[in-house]
Structure 1
Amino acid sequence: LEAGIVGGVIHIALRWIEDGYSPDIEVVTDSALRLGMVLGRPAVRA
């Protein structure tokens, strides 16, 4: 699951870069990994 999320975020970021957006690749990778960690966590009931 995490690999799919990270790969999806990086794929989207690469499309943005093709369209002229120029983020640092380290920022994109860090954001993808953070999102993967959050979305990969088990749900917690409040």
Structure 2
Amino acid sequence: MRRLRDQADITEADHRKAADGPVVTHEAFVAELEAEDAQAAAP
């Protein structure tokens, strides 16, 4: 399960990089992904 989430995170990072989005630190990016996951999991 963790491997699938990691791969999804890598895919998302590649997508954002290709879109010339803002440059953020790894920690900020991971925090953003975790917040999005928490929001998606909320009822």
Which interval holds the TM-score relative to the shorter structure? 0.5 to 0.7
How many residues are aligned here? Answer: 35
Larger radius of gyration: 1
- Aligned Cα RMSD in Å? 2.4
Q: Point out the structure with the larger helix share.
A: 2
Q: TM-score, length-normalised on structure 1? A: 0.53
If the length of structure 2 is used for normalisation, what is the TM-score? 0.55
Q: Percent identity?
A: 9
**Structure 1: gaps of 5 or more residues:** none
Deviation at 1:28, TM superposition (A): 0.6
Unmatched 5+ residue regions in structure 2? none
